[in-house]
Chain A
Amino acid sequence: MNDDSQSDVVNPTRRVFLRNTGTTAAAVFIGVSGAPQLNLTLTAEAATEENAVGANIDGAVPITLRINGKDHQLRIDPRTTLLDCIRETVTLTGTKKGCDHGQCGACTVHVNGRRVNSCLSLALMHDGEEITTIEGLGTPDAMHPMQAAFVAHDGYQCGYCTSGQIMSAVALLKEPCGPDDAAVKECMSGNICRCGAYANIIAAIQKVRHNA
Chain B
Amino acid sequence: MHTFEFVRPADTVKAVAAAGQAKTAQQGADIRFLAGGTTLIDLMKLNVETPSQLLDINRLPLDKIEATADGGLKIGATARNSDLAHHPTVQRDYAVLSQAILAGASVQLRNMATTAGNLLQRTRCVYFRDTAMPCNKREPGSGCPAITGANRTLAILGTSEHCIATNPSDMCVAMAALEATIHIVGPKGTRAVPIADFHLLPGNTPQRETVLEPGDLITHVTLPPPVAGSKQLYLKLRDRASYEFALASAAVVVTVAGGKITRARVAMGGVGTKPWRSTEAEAALVGQAANTANYRKAAEVALRDAKPQSQNKYKIELAKRCLTHAFTTAVTG
Q: Say yes or no: is A124 at the interface (Cβ < 8 Å to chain B).
A: yes
Query: In the complex, which residue of chain A has the Cβ closest to the Cβ of B1?
Result: A79
Q: Contact: B37 with A190, CB < 8 Å?
A: no
Given A81-B41, A189-B106, 19 new contacts (CB under 8 A): A78-B4, A79-B1, A100-B45, A102-B109, A105-B106, A115-B107, A115-B108, A115-B111, A117-B109, A120-B38, A120-B112, A121-B112, A172-B107, A176-B86, A187-B107, A189-B241, A190-B107, A190-B109, A191-B106
- A121 touches which one: B1, B6, B37, B243 (CB < 8 A)? B37
Docked complex Cα distance between A169 and B106 (Å): 13
B42 at the interface (CB under 8 A from A): yes
Contact string against B for A residues 183-199, beta-carbon threshold 8 Å, 1 for contact and 0 otherwise: 00111011100000000
For B4, the closest partner residue in chain A by CB is A78
Nearest 4 interchain pairs by C-beta: A190-B106, A189-B242, A189-B243, A78-B6
* B6 in contact with A120 (CB, 8 Å): no
A121 to B107, CA, bound (A): 15
Any chain B CB within 8 A of the CB of A122? yes
Q: Which residues of A contact B45 (CB under 8 A)?
A: 100-101
Give residues 107-131 of B contacting A (CB, 8 Å). Answer: 107-109, 111-112
B38/A122 in contact, CB under 8 A: no
Instruction: Return chain A residues, CB-CB under 8 Å to B105.
Output: 190
Indicate whether A120 sits within 8 Å of B242 (C-beta atoms), given known contacts A79-B4, A187-B107.
Answer: no
- Give Cα A117–Cα B38 distance, bound, in whole angstroms: 9
Which residues from B are CB-within-8-Å of A186?
242
What 0/1 readout, one digit per residue, does chain B (238-252) give for beta carbons within 8 Å of chain A? 000111000000000
Once bound together, how far apart are the Cα atoms of A212 and B59, in whole Å?
35
When distances are taken between beta carbons in the complex, the residues of chain B under 8 Å from A95 are none
C-alpha spacing A148/B174, complex, angstroms: 41
C-alpha spacing A175/B34, complex, angstroms: 26
Q: Give the secondary structure class of A's interface.
A: mixed
Instruction: Indicate if the CB atoms of B4 and A116 lie closer than 8 Å.
Output: no
Q: Which residues of B contact A100 (CB under 8 A)?
A: 45
Bound Cα distance from A168 to B82, whole angstroms: 15
- Inter-subunit contact B107/A124 (CB<8 Å): no
Q: How far is the CA of A180 from the CA of B31 in the complex (A)?
A: 46
- Contact, CB under 8 Å: B111 / A114: yes
Residue of B37, B42, B56, B106 contacting most chain A CB atoms (<10 Å): B106
| B70 located at the interface, meaning its Cβ lies under 8 Å from any Cβ of chain A in the complex | no
Chain B CB within 10 A, most for which of A102, A168, A176, A186: A102
Chain B 1-23, CB-CB to A under 8 Å as 1, else 0, gives 10111100000000000000000
The yes or no answer to B230 lying at the interface (CB within 8 A) is: no
Determine whether A25 belongs to the interface, using a CB cutoff of 8 Å to chain B.
no
Nearest chain A CB to B67's CB is how many angstroms away? 21
Q: Is the CB of A171 within 8 A of B42?
A: no
- Chain A, residues 96-138, CB within 8 Å of chain B (1/0): the string is 0000111001001000001111001110110000000000000
Residues of A whose CB lies within 8 Å of any CB of B are 59, 61, 77-79, 81, 100-102, 105, 108, 114-117, 120-122, 124-125, 168, 171-172, 175-176, 185-187, 189-191
Q: Which residues of A contact B1 (CB under 8 A)?
A: 79
A186 to B241: give the CA distance in the assembly, Å. 8
B interface residues, Cβ below 8 angstroms from A: 1, 3-6, 34, 37-38, 41-42, 45, 54, 56, 58, 82, 86, 105-109, 111-112, 241-243
Q: Using Cβ atoms and an 8 Å threshold, which residues of chain B touch A59?
A: 3
Could you say which residues of chain B place their CB within 8 Å of the CB of A61?
Answer: 6
Q: Report Cα–Cα, A122/B58, bound state, in Å.
A: 12
User: Provided the pairs A81-B41, A120-B42, A190-B243 are in contact, do residues A125 and B108 lie with their beta carbons within 8 angstroms?
Assistant: no
Residue of A nearest to B240 (CB): A189
Contact of A78 among B5, B111, B241 (CB under 8 A): B5
Cα(A49)–Cα(B41), bound, Å:
29
A116 CA / B41 CA spacing, docked (Å): 14
| Most chain B CB within a 10 A radius of its CB, from A122, A125, A171, A185 | A125
Instruction: Look across to chain A and name the residue whose beta carbon is closest to the beta carbon of B86.
Output: A176
Quick check: A116 and B56 within 8 Å, CB to CB?
no
Q: Which residues of A contact B242 (CB under 8 A)?
A: 185-186, 189
CA distance A79 to B40 in the complex (A): 12
A sample of 28 cross-chain residue pairs with beta-carbon separation below 8 angstroms, ordered by A number, consists of: A77-B3, A78-B3, A79-B1, A101-B45, A102-B38, A102-B108, A108-B108, A114-B82, A115-B111, A116-B108, A116-B111, A117-B108, A117-B109, A117-B112, A120-B42, A120-B109, A120-B112, A121-B37, A122-B41, A122-B54, A125-B34, A125-B37, A125-B58, A168-B107, A172-B107, A190-B105, A190-B109, A190-B243
A122:B107 contact, CB within 8 angstroms? no
- Nearest CB of A to B255, in Å: 28
Bound-complex Cα distance A114 to B38 (A): 15
A116 in contact with B112 (CB, 8 Å): yes
Residues of chain A within 8 A of B107, CB atoms compared: 115, 168, 171-172, 175, 187, 190
Which residues on B sit within 8 Å (CB–CB) of A125? 34, 37, 56, 58
Collect the chain A residues with CB atoms within 8 Å of residue B34's CB.
122, 125
